Amino acid sequence: MPFPRASGLLLHPTSFPGRFGVGDLGPAAYQFIDFMVKGGQQLWQVLPLGPTGFGNSPYMCYSAMAGNPLLISLEQLQEQELLQEEDLELGIGFRPETIAYEQVIPMKLGLLRLAYENFKAGVFPELTVAFQKFCQTRAWLEDFAFFMALKDAHWGAAWNTWPQEIAQRQPMAMVHWRQKLQSDIERHEFWQFQFFQQWSSLKKYANDNGIQIIGDIPIYVAHNSADVWANPDQFFLDPETGEPALMAGVPPDYFSETGQLWGNPIYQWERMEKQGFKWWIQRFHTMLDYVDLIRVDHFRGFRAFWQVKQGETTAMNGEWVKAPGDELFEALRDELGKLPILAEDLGIITPDVEALRDKFEFPGMKILHFAFGSGSGNPYLPYNHVQNCLVYTGTHDNNTTVGWFHDMPEHERVFVEGYIGGLSEEGIHWDLMRLALSSVANQVIIPVQDLLGLGMEARMNLPSTSGGNWVWRYRAGALTDAIAERLRQLTDTYGRAPVKTDDSWD
């Protein structure tokens, strides 16, 4: 559905500053919302918030429903008396601008384990009641916590390499392992309780300050996830090995000459449709419990998807297969009413994909970094934008604007300078932000790296690479009042600021 004219910022919570090596849902998150209010912003876009696996990508999580324990604020656990001040001294000494996951993960999970042990050993009547209520109202929680406990018990190995009886969820094995791992299962449930308690408080603070949160649903889930282990009938899997029999990806495109072979298992769409898309409805229900709007990643895969057979090492040898997108979104609309969905419609977009997007009035995406490599008909140029779309300077998969401008061919740089009427003293990042904010598009999202004018060292992700991604953080104090004031001026100039009533902003 079309949305009001507004703008916002793209920032994943791991990128917040703080002394524990990775951004979390503590003080810096609330300070970021305060900054957004000063800057006149109304939208905060995050990447998927699930528990990440190998490579730390938020697009390859152990669950499509759960939250990432690394985002739990240790300070808030201390406020609940689950940790002591001396426990938090371990957080001293981490790098301020990048995340060293190999150091952060064992430190933080160790403290989260200690917090759970203190919870079990102490007397916390209100917290206990809230925890029990949480466990009773999250249908996905039992499978997820059991999966994670099993994963710990098998030294982190993928579920399809576990003993066959538990990999295939045979009833006797399920009873045996559930009894054996009861405490570990509850620990993972407790971590989820803490994550959602903290996230819900942060979301309420954002909403109370006029900011809506845009979440992100990857179309596929990771093979090594609770979703696949608990619902194997929903995916194309090799019956003998449990590996994906058909893998997801995209053919060669702007980002990769050999395409992108993601490795996620393809859905059994026919079976899902016969079941009324029950799994998808639960996924959207869960998502809308903790975000306001949903960006659907790889939207074109709901019309037709690229599938690659097991054994291929690139995505080049695949085929397009039709997907029941109309039927899925109709089922979701029947269940949820108007769908607060934004469609990531980048890549190979055909008329039937556009028809599916427009049938449900989902805003598509326009990326200014893609606007200057061809002629006047380029759909990403601002004068070709439509109102019902969402404009970015760049996304988490792009270089920063400063890095992009520095690396582009000379003839394209000349075209950009001519289009914007010459570079301003403020720099190309402000020039491109102004171009986005002045667009006719209803919504604009700006990565915080662009707001800060950072170069390629602050890039969040380089697709088809496995190292150095998802590690960027900004320094404490980087988001200054001067930046907020300049952003608010532009936002107000182009009609995207909240409506001013008396001396306050609504």
Contact 324, 269 (CB under 8 A): yes
Rounded distance between C-alpha atoms, residue 166 and residue 473, angstroms: 39
What letters, b where the CB count within 10 A reaches 16 and e where it falls short, cover 319-357? Answer: eeeebbbeebbebbeeeeeebbbbbbbbbebeeebeebb
Alpha-carbon distance values, 191 to 27, 64, 109, 156, 203 (Å): 19, 16, 10, 18, 18
**Residue ranges of the alpha helices (H) in 313-442?**
325-336, 351-359, 401-407, 410-419, 428-437
Of the residues 75, 189, 297, 431, which is catalytic? Answer: 297
Beta strands in 276-416 (DSSP E): 293-296, 304-309, 318-322, 341-343, 364-367, 389-392
- Rounded to an integer, what distance in angstroms lies between the CA atom of residue 298 and that of residue 279? 18
- CA geometry: angle at 127 spanning 122 and 128, to 5°? 75
Give the residue among 296, 304, 295 at the shortest CA–CA distance from 352. 304
Of 310, 105, 286, the residue nearest 196 (C-alpha): 286
Respond yes or no: is residue 354 known to be catalytic. Answer: no
SS3 call for 369: helix
Inter-residue contact 464 to 260 (CB < 8 Å)? yes
Mind spelling out the 3-state secondary structure of 118-165? HHHHCCCHHHHHHHHHHHHCCCCHHHHHHHHHHHHHCCCCCHHHCCHH
Q: Is 327 a catalytic residue?
A: no
Q: Which helix (H) or strand (E) holds 201?
A: helix 182-208
Active-site option among 253, 397, 417, 492: 397
One-character DSSP codes across 241-256? T-SBSEEEEE-S-SS-
Q: Is 34 a catalytic site residue? A: no
Report the largest interatomic distance among the alpha carbons of the chain, rounded to a whole angstrom. Answer: 71
Half-sphere exposure for 38 (CA within 13 Å, toward CB): 14
Give the Cα separation of 443 and 338 in Å (integer). Answer: 18
Q: Given 75, 143, 344, 450, which residue is catalytic?
A: 344
Backbone angles phi, psi at 4, to 5 degrees: -65, 160
Q: Are 9 and 433 in contact (CB under 8 A)?
A: no
**Phi then psi for 379, rounded to 5 degrees?**
-65, -15
Catalytic residues: 297, 344, 397
